[in-house]
Structure 1
Amino acid sequence: MTTLLKSITEAQRQQLHRRTLTVVLLSQTFGGAGLAAGISVGALIAQDMLGTEALSGLPTALFTLGAALTAILIGRVTQRIGRRIALGVGFIAGGLGAIGFALATQANSPVLLFISLFIYGAGTATNLQARYAGTDLAPANRKGTAISTAMVATTIGAVAGPNLIEPLGGLAQNLGLPALAGPFLLAAVAYILAGTILISLLRPDPYTVAQQWEQQHATQAAGQIHDDANAPAGSPRLVRIGALVLVISQVVMVGIMTMTPIHMRAYDHTMGAVGLVIGLHVGAMWLPSLFTGPIVDRIGPRLTTIIAGLTLLAAGLVAALSPGESLAGILVALVLLGLGWNIGLVSGTTLVVHGTHPDVRAATQGSIDVWYQIFGAGAGMLSGILMSVTGFATLTILGGILAMILVPAILLAPRERI
């Protein structure tokens, strides 16, 4: 348990908030590189090892299920002892899973592959849970900006990772591993470094300090949701709507993204082209956070959620209407897909943060991310089956239509809180 200060001044809270963001930014830079590995080549390795396209979504499903379990564990551990240990151990577990994945490709062992993918998902969950660390000590009118600041550092590693597929493949071959195992070597190092940074430097723990701040100013905070550091009262309806925004954004993104490398290989695109598309897609998932967080704070998560739904719809339509051999069309679709996911993630997370009571915030956040990951796992698994039966165009159109659920959902959010 982090040792709490005797009393916290506003200046100390601001200083600790800036320090927390700095540490989270540093760890997320490495975490992003680990995150990108499974997105880039997981489906291709499964297709090669299992010999069927229908099961090529299984890797995404497995590491997403692993992420779901990790999300609830991180939430519960954070509730008890803070974010430092919970996030640090989560990243390190993801690194161990990446090592197991590389070994599974060498041994051509589907069983080891599946187990390792499940463990590797811990890194994915931790990467997402880290965004909440940036909000613990942030003022209520800066929650969106805090979320996006914690997310944006992921861009560096996440964009670099897929674009290193070919050189990392050469490194893997020099080590006696299949070329496609290369990104997982990067993931192992990156995740373990991210976890080590958090365990070493995230002191004092922002979650436990935030709890002390809220207790210290409980009377002052009452009735000042928009002006004080944290809202004292929760809104279950706001939490449910925020959770729905997160889940729908994840389902649409995962379903389309997972099958894109398979679709591209069917049209003889090179691995370099696949890396470029996925790299720009992942960049569009994280880099817009520079702007989306402040925009959410300025115009509110209600309007930005509607924008997210429309952007995801556009992504599905562009992907469906672009010729399979058109690299430009696929690039545009995947960039739109990443952007829509980003806007949905920042908007949904902001709704959840504003709707949760401080006493149960971490556990609620972990529980929501469980459903977020489970539905994402289902999307990853079903996308391969759906594509093998109906084709890529139908898959993407259905994803775009599903995204439009966000529009009527957000209109049900209580207006007085956002």
Structure 2
Amino acid sequence: VYQAEFLLVCLGTFLIGGYQASAMYYRYTALEAVRDDQKGRAAALVVGGGVLAALIAPEIASYTRNMVAIPFAGSYLALAGLATIAALIMLMLRDGGVPAKTRTGGAVMLELLRRPRLRGAIAISAAGHGIMILVMTATPLAMKFCGFDVDTAANIIRWHIIGMFLPAFVAGPMIDRFGARLMAVVGALALVFSVVFAVSGISFSAFLISSFLLGIGWNLMLLAGTTLLGEGHDASERGHAQSLMELGNSITGTVASLVAGALIAGAGWNIINFGVLPVLLVAIFLMWAGGRKPVTQGV
């Protein structure tokens, strides 16, 4: 930005994307640092940190935007500073160790996907993530078509973000107490009620409540899927399993963001929301089908 070189800005943004992708692994790092009965709370606290980010990030961006002579160059410097702080914190964490790998490559990935437990965990996480991205991206467009201004849509998205991260502080203990599968169902029900409110009308309150519930559903399904993932693999397969879950989240999120605009223009707001329901049913079925299997090595 300081050099006014567009290609360098694109390259820098590409690297920021890699940084953000690696940040999704922070919750796995937390799982390696605690006992089995604390895993839900550990993952939840990491995700819950998004509340702090939602509160301070706009202020940091506003304060640093004109910190140097070139507008927004200071914001990128602030981002570099925050990433440095994150790296220092990572160095202070207990090392979970690198497990001995007996096998590597795509064959391991295919074998993992054949396991019902792991497949169900990935389905729950990917479904919740894809649905959230799809509806969240479509919401401001739908509000514009309904006559709301940009500031009103921004306020709705703000409450959606609060719904995404604030429940993590209670979702973690609930997962540890009642089990990840039950909490995944609760998350799916939150998304069902989000659909109910979304199609109930075009009022401000309908958009607000549906967006807030959308965030809650995403939170519960992501945390439940992350916790369930550990049941479907051993330590030597940990990296492959985590990569599969993140790949599933990335694919569904990317597809959802790409099709949201076309769907809202071609099919409409109600069709988008009703389309959420069969995806939820398939994800819940895969999760419960895998959960009925006895817990044995490689299942």
TM tier, shorter chain? 0.7 to 0.9
Out of 126, 136, 139, the residue aligned to residue 32 of structure 2 is 136
Out of 240, 246, 252, the residue aligned to residue 125 of structure 2 is 246
2:43 corresponds to which letter in structure 1? I
Q: What is the CA-CA distance between 1:299 and the residue it aligns to? A: 0.7
Structure 2 residue runs without a partner (length 5+)? 101-113
1:206 is matched with which residue?
94
Q: How does 1:330-369 map to 2 (within 5 A)?
A: 330-369=207-246
1:269 is matched with which residue?
148
Out of 153, 165, 174, the residue aligned to residue 286 of structure 1 is 165
1:256 is matched with which residue?
135
1:7 is matched with which residue?
none
Deviations 1:14-55 (A, max 9, x none): xxxxxxxxxxxxxxxxxxxxxxxxxxxxxxxxxxxxxxxxxx
Q: What is the CA-CA distance between 1:291 and the residue it aligns to? A: 0.7
2:187 is matched with which residue?
308
Q: What is the CA-CA distance between 1:240 and the residue it aligns to? A: 1.4
Change (3 A) 1:237 1:175: farther
CA distance in structure 2 between the aligned counterparts of 1:138 and 1:210, rounded to whole angstroms: 16
2:47 corresponds to which letter in structure 1? M
1:37 is matched with which residue?
none
CA distance in structure 2 between the aligned counterparts of 1:194 and 1:400, rounded to whole angstroms: 39
CA distance in structure 2 between the aligned counterparts of 1:170 and 1:378, rounded to whole angstroms: 33
Cα pair 2:121 2:225 within 8 Å, conserved: yes
Change (3 A) 1:400 1:156: farther
Change (3 A) 1:139 1:169: closer
When the two structures are superposed, what TM-score results if normalisation uses the length of structure 2? Answer: 0.80
1:375 is matched with which residue?
252
Structure 1 residue runs without a partner (length 5+)? 1-98, 213-234
CA distance in structure 1 between the aligned counterparts of 2:206 and 2:159, rounded to whole angstroms: 13
Deviations 1:204-261 (A, max 9, x none): 553444859xxxxxxxxxxxxxxxxxxxxxx943221111111111111111001112
CA distance in structure 2 between the aligned counterparts of 1:278 and 1:333, rounded to whole angstroms: 11
Q: How does 1:130-209 map to 2 (within 5 A)?
A: 130-159=26-55, 161=57, 168=62, 188=76, 191-203=79-91, 205-209=93-97
CA distance in structure 2 between the aligned counterparts of 1:185 and 1:265, rounded to whole angstroms: 32
Cα pair 1:278 1:334 within 8 Å, conserved: yes
Change (3 A) 1:157 1:265: same
Q: What is the CA-CA distance between 1:389 and the residue it aligns to? A: 0.5
Change (3 A) 1:115 1:278: farther
Q: What is the CA-CA distance between 1:193 and the residue it aligns to? A: 3.3
1:251 corresponds to which letter in structure 2? G
Change (3 A) 1:289 1:316: same
CA distance in structure 2 between the aligned counterparts of 1:148 and 1:402, rounded to whole angstroms: 24
Cα pair 1:310 1:403 within 8 Å, conserved: no
Deviations 1:122-180 (A, max 9, x none): 34323321111111121111111110011111112125546x69x949957x9776xxx
Out of 250, 261, 264, the residue aligned to residue 387 of structure 1 is 264
When the two structures are superposed, what TM-score results if normalisation uses the length of structure 1? Answer: 0.59
1:321 alignment partner, SS class? coil
Identity over aligned pairs, percent: 22
Q: What is the CA-CA distance between 1:268 and the residue it aligns to? A: 3.8
Change (3 A) 1:277 1:170: farther
Q: Does residue 1:126 correspond to 2:22, yes or no?
A: yes
CA distance in structure 1 between the aligned counterparts of 2:198 and 2:181, rounded to whole angstroms: 27
Q: How does 1:12-31 map to 2 (within 5 A)?
A: none
1:75 is matched with which residue?
none
CA distance in structure 2 between the aligned counterparts of 1:170 and 1:330, rounded to whole angstroms: 32
Deviations 1:187-207 (A, max 9, x none): x45643342123223235534
